Structure 1
Amino acid sequence: MTKPALYLIACAAGPAQYIDDGVRAARADGWDVCLILTPSAASWWEPRMGELVELTGHPVRSRYKLPWEEDVLPKADAMLVAPMSCTTLNKWGAGIADTVAIGIPSEAVHMGVPVTAMPYFNQAQGAQPAVARSIAVLREQGVIVLDGPDGYESHPPKRGNPGAFPWGKALAAVRRQIGA
């Protein structure tokens, strides 16, 4: 039996430097993990991208494919956008899909694919009025946004702990969303 495919989509937020931990946690949870990074997050991993390819067994995507290129990833059974930066949240909430990391989940949620997102940004960023609006817009579309006590509680500026990102909590929410 094949494992269900989870698209783990990471933005250039602090925990992205530990995305290998997220991949390992998802694999331990029974997922075939396909990794998609924003261009900025991909630049963080550029010197070590081979490690992520080896860890997932799939190419890591960080750009839209060209029209003549085949899709290299299996069909997603679920998606987890984590860590989700404030920038990605607000672009996605405004319907701006200028990166593959936003375009794929923004389309998938309207195609019946379960999409969960867990943000990681500080309280000053979270205080921007666009943040609450964007979260509401995503939830209206069916995205499970894990913020506050049910997900990631934003930290004071310059006092985050990206290495302690709650991957287990995020993956448990994905499992609940798919009914597993």
Structure 2
Amino acid sequence: MTHRTLYLVTCGAPLASRIGDGVRAAREQGWDPYVIPTDAALPWLDGQDVDEVPVLTGNRKPGDPKRTPKADAVAVVPATFNTLNAWANGNANTYPLTTLCSALGSRIPAVAVPFAKHDLAGHPAWLASLAVLRYGGVTIIDPHTGSNSSLSPVESGTGEEVSAAFQWDWVIRNLDS
């Protein structure tokens, strides 16, 4: 099995509690995962089995070598309102956003699993950002169903339930298509 490099960007929402499962699912399908959490995602990583993979935070210092091989694909699980909008707008002011913007500009295959409540998903910037990312080739996956043709917001208070039912195969399958 040929190993490919997968950047797993994770944001601060309940689905980040499953990133260890994503690491295992990626490895089973021949990916070498690198976890790139936002600052808000860091608390969600506590107690997860991610010690055997690189977890990259912060930008490199001048003169430091590159920390990862070139990505063959990128998955953003979960993609929060803030990160998704910043990515679509080209804001590369953090390491995770720089990684996402570079991937989009390089046309590296990307999958995003948006995780936003109704009030945030109702903001006009949300639909515009989803459209920009889809135009750029990003596959958007519904966290409830795995659909890549429709997307429903996460009802307030159901984040843990949605996260528990989430299937990482939905992401991995879309990386291979």
Q: TM-score, normalised by structure 2?
A: 0.86
- 1:15 — aligned with what? 15
- Among 49, 52, 59, the alignment partner of 2:50 is 52
Partners in 2 of 1:102 and 1:147 — Cα distance? 21
Greater share of helix residues, 1 or 2?
A: 1
Q: What is the CA-CA distance between 1:173 and the residue it aligns to?
A: 0.8
Using the TM superposition, name which of 113-122 and 80-89 deviates more.
113-122
Task: Give the counterpart letter for 2:50 in structure 1.
Answer: L
Contact 2:12/2:38 (8 A) holds in 1: yes
Partners in 1 of 2:130 and 2:114 — Cα distance? 10
Once superposed, what is the RMSD of the aligned Cα atoms?
2.0
* Matching of residues 1-180 of structure 1 within 5 Å: 2-45=2-45, 48=47, 51-54=49-52, 56=53, 59-147=54-142, 150-151=147-148, 153-160=152-159, 161=161, 162-176=163-177
Matched residue SS, 1:155: coil
Partners in 1 of 2:2 and 2:174 — Cα distance? 21
Q: What is the CA-CA distance between 1:134 and the residue it aligns to?
A: 0.5
Matched residue SS, 2:70: coil
Task: Give the counterpart letter for 1:15 in structure 2.
Answer: L
Matched residue SS, 2:35: strand
Partners in 2 of 1:75 and 1:92 — Cα distance? 19
Contact 1:124/1:157 (8 A) holds in 2: no
Q: Which consecutive residues of structure 1, in runs of 5 or more, have no partner in the other structure?
A: none
Count residues in correspondence.
171
Contact 2:91/2:101 (8 A) holds in 1: no
Contact 1:109/1:115 (8 A) holds in 2: yes
- Percent identity between the two aligned chains: 35
